[in-house]
Chain A
């Protein structure tokens, strides 16, 4: 981190609640707080990693930011190329559709994310066509150009997705996202459905594309090694809240939140002599429909005190650039996945 770069995206107190039916007759009503008030920013050209386990709300976060799902509350503000600020969450329908060319998404499942009934050419061209950025033969030129960049065989453009393997399908999905020259891309677990030997190709492609086109990524993943590999900063989510956000190097060496510590201790290391010593967390991740009071993590936390059961800890900056939501963040000495030596 040399000098702070301008912010491209600012998320303010974002919430997404779902009405949940409970009970046999759907009579007991409740709310699932999939995202419960999160705030962060992403700098121009950086990659913010977003990690969490199932039910943490990381996927919902990605979708709400792009308004694939409407937020319940909160704001998503964009500032493109240092220009004016756009309140993305407040854009009316027409303006929203026009703005969408700036923000794209890459999906986890390379099978369900491509319409099986469209040719690859049509799939990649779709954002271009609906945004009206190109017409006629320009469309084909641009599609060919971006397909080549994603190392697709342009002779295969008239084929249908069923002709392709998972890795190639993911390249098609990336080409679709990049075809409109977006500024910001949400990568929702882009490699977790792929084979190990294919993951590296896709990660390289994503990182090269970022360099080349000056993209900003929100990189959602559950694999911490992948997140560490691609991210400048990392946010850790637990049950709909961000519990820690810090530069990658800081987070992996000296986490501030006990959950981050537990998560890191569970990474299976490739070195058999560095046997993992997982901080065995008590119990399981609670249901987001019925989260614990106070700090959501307290029932499983080894350091929990009385206050954790009653009071929600404030998410604030403890060290430069390092944010955490823990009552004892400045007192605990926690272990990271990496040791400085």
Chain B
């Protein structure tokens, strides 16, 4: 593990054995997050971004299972004799173990797209924030209540004192998301996993939440793994970006680098495919052809090759591209950048297979 990474995922594989076949939801993901960094994961449906996040906390829904790879996490909790640092492989832990439970919520917190489902409808919002605080901190009930009000203020719930005793359904979507952030922050995590936290919100509320998260991230100095499908949101909040497609990270780089100098054909096409203010009005967009394959029928070779505009027959449809570091900050998984790329294997079978898939 890199000396200063907070989290390093290597060759993570997660599959869901279903009746009609096995879905490789995560097929060899490599990621690294530095302390205090905001890493954005962008991808479309079925790219495995949510499952990747779920495997960090070991909350993959059944029948999903981790088949291989490591998730190294630098666990550092204050103990009796100062700071105690050790590296844990989350992929090897038992999801129900004491250790995992301690990390979950204490060191890694998570917020979701739909905050309603993570609140109990029969308890007040305030009591649920207090519960989270009491779980992690040794405080009296009164002190916990004051701390909870403090957190509610911090996340910008107006009239925090009065709204403590409201139930989740009395909160609007945006306010609920704020309350959930308060719960997540209550344990002062070193990593916050945010799974599409603004997708269900209106634009003006999304802007508020992004603004809030940016502020709190700096204030608390925590690392954030921010999952979204919206490239605009990622540009606004992330330091680093990982682009995922069908269970693999295809490109990772700092946000400016990836938006200005994308290397992977998927990233390039994706950036061209979104309407941009003042640039594309009235013109045709450069669309990515075809549709996202069913995860049950992962294409051979590079998973993107059937839709790729730079597909090389005989290579892309047979050879699985390797994860190549272009420089210290920019890595990509595409045969175009492989130093020892295989030469096209133009046996008729391969070429035909490629053309029918395309």
Contact = CB atoms under 8 A, between A and B. Distances in A.
Contact between A and B in the complex (any CB pair below 8 Å)? yes
Interface of A: 53-54, 165, 167-168, 195-201, 203-204, 207-208, 222-226, 228-230, 248-249, 252, 262-263, 265-273, 275-276, 278, 280-281, 283-285, 337-338
Nearest to A198: B291
A53 B203 contact: yes
Interface centre among A249, A272, A285, A337 (most CB of B within 10 A): A272
Interface string B285-308: 111110110000000000000010
Contacts of B288: 197, 200-201
Contacts of A199: 273-274
Contacts of A228: 275, 277-278, 281
Contacts of A271: 235, 259
A270 B203 contact: no
Interface stretch (B88-96, B110-118, B204-212, B321-329): B204-212
B232 A268 contact: yes
A162 B238 CA distance: 37
B158 interface: yes
A283 B158 contact: yes
Contacts of A270: 231-232, 235, 259, 271, 274, 276
Contacts of B276: 225, 270
Contact of B44 (A196, A203, A229, A230): A196
Contact of B270 (A54, A196, A201, A284): A196
Contacts of B330: none
B32 to A, nearest CB: 20
A203 B285 contact: yes
B77 interface: no
A129 B285 CA distance: 34
Nearest to B272: A200
A225 B174 contact: no
Contact of A269 (B158, B202, B208, B232): B232
Interface of B: 44-45, 158, 172, 174-175, 202-208, 210-211, 229-233, 235-236, 255-256, 259, 269-271, 273-278, 280-282, 284-289, 291-292, 307
A263 B276 CA distance: 16
Given A197-B44, A337-B278, 9 more contacts: A196-B44, A199-B273, A201-B287, A203-B275, A207-B284, A222-B203, A225-B275, A228-B277, A275-B236
B203 A280 contact: no
Contact of A281 (B172, B204, B235, B274): B204
Contact of B204 (A53, A168, A223, A273): A53
A96 to B, nearest CB: 34
A207 B284 CA distance: 8
Given A197-B44, A272-B255, A278-B204, A204 B231 contact: no
Given A165-B291, A203-B285, A229-B281, A196 B229 contact: yes
Contact of B202 (A53, A273, A278): A53
Nearest to A55: B202
B226 to A, nearest CB: 12
Nearest to A232: B282
A252 B278 contact: yes
Contacts of B231: 196, 270
4 nearest CB pairs, A to B: A268-B232, A229-B275, A266-B207, A278-B207
Centre residue among A204, A262, A265 by max chain B CB count within 10 A: A204
A331 B259 CA distance: 38
A338 B281 CA distance: 12
Given A195-B44, A195-B229, A252-B277, A278 B259 contact: no
Contacts of B281: 228-229, 248-249
A281 B231 CA distance: 23
Given A196-B270, A204-B284, A270-B235, A280 B277 contact: no
Contact of A284 (B174, B232, B286): B174
Contacts of B273: 196-197, 199-200
Contacts of B259: 270-272
B280 A229 contact: yes
A195 B211 contact: no
A267 B277 contact: yes
Contacts of B233: 268
Q: Which of A222, A278, A283 has most chain B Cβ within 10 Å?
A: A278
Contacts of B307: 197
A270 B259 CA distance: 8
A146 B290 CA distance: 19
Contacts of A222: 202-203
Contact of A195 (B45, B202, B232): B45
A268 B291 contact: no
A110 to B, nearest CB: 12
A90 B279 CA distance: 42
A272 B230 CA distance: 13
Contacts of A267: 203, 232, 277
Contacts of A263: 203-204
Most chain A CB within 10 A, of B211, B233, B278, B280, is at B278
A273 B230 CA distance: 17
21 contacts: A53-B203, A167-B291, A197-B288, A197-B307, A199-B273, A200-B273, A201-B288, A203-B275, A225-B232, A225-B275, A226-B275, A228-B281, A229-B282, A263-B204, A266-B206, A269-B236, A270-B259, A278-B211, A280-B207, A284-B205, A285-B172
B202 A272 contact: no
Contacts of B256: 272-273
A268 B202 contact: no
